[in-house]
């Protein structure tokens, strides 16, 4: 028996519009208006709890999407949350070993656990590492950088997400150049700043 999933959603809008509809879907978008409908009273603020129908879902990591529609007929961009669905009768309680053995990152679209760009790490219970994410090939504009780790038990964690913006502004480093004349001991020095790109 798969564990039931209980979800809470809270939505606030900063205009005079009211929220009239809400829907959720799991893993893939069936199209606007085609998700599982959620019931709530029309309002500019919604705080509601619902049970997610997990029938037909496999064990493992899934993505829950939620979007709302206002009284002008505009749908929001879906909010996302990751959750892990487990067969609690077969596995008993899920106990996770905390040692991390793998890490990976990806942008925007999840390629699946273990299929992102690897981040070199040493096995540890906590990771504190600086690394560089390769943004080559990303178009200008907003993107999501996702990072996730894998435990020694073989479980991939829920990705951490960071919004980033790629723009066309080149990183221009200041170019420092000074000139001076020959200087004798105990003589003041006059410098002329010829720096550029500052």
Quick check: 49 and 5 in contact, CB under 8 A?
Answer: no
The last residue of a domain, from among 48, 69, 91:
91
Residue 110 to residue 104: CA distance in whole angstroms? 11
Considering the domain architecture, whether residues 114 and 76 belong to the same structural domain is answered as no
Q: Is the pLDDT of residue 103 over 70?
A: yes
Give residue 74's domain range.
5-91
pTM of the model: 0.48
Residues 176-195 have a mean pLDDT of 53
Quick check: 90 and 82 in contact, CB under 8 A?
Answer: no
Confidence (pLDDT) at 75: 87
Residues 89-114 have a mean pLDDT of 77
Confidence (pLDDT) at 198: 47
Distance between start and end Cα atoms, the chain:
64
Domain contains 137:
yes
Q: Is the pLDDT of residue 10 over 60?
A: no
Quick check: 19 and 70 in contact, CB under 8 A?
Answer: yes
Q: How far is CA 168 from CA 3, 106, 140, 172, 173, in A?
A: 47, 21, 7, 12, 15
Considering the domain architecture, whether residues 15 and 86 belong to the same structural domain is answered as yes
């Amino acid at each position: 028996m798969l564990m039931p999933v209980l979800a809470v959603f809270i939505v606030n809008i900063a205009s005079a519009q009211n929220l009239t509809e809400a829907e959720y879907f799991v893993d893939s978008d069936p199209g606007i208006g085609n998700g599982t409908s959620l019931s709530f009273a029309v309002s500019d603020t919604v705080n509601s709890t619902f049970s997610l129908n997990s029938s037909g879902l496999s064990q493992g990591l899934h993505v829950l999407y939620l979007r709302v529609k206002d009284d002008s007929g505009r749908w929001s961009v879906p909010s996302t949350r990751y959750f892990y669905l487990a067969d609690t009768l077969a596995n008993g309680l899920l106990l996770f070993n905390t040692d991390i053995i793998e890490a990976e990152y990806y942008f925007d679209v999840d390629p699946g656990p273990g299929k992102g760009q690897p981040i070199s790490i040493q096995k540890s219970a906590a990771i504190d590492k600086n690394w560089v994410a390769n943004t080559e090939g990303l178009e200008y504009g907003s993107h999501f950088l996702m990072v996730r780790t894998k435990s020694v038990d073989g479980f991939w964690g829920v990705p951490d997400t960071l919004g980033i913006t790629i723009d066309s502004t080149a990183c221009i480093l200041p170019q420092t150049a000074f000139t001076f004349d020959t200087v004798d001991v105990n003589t003041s020095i006059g410098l002329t700043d010829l720096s550029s790109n500052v």
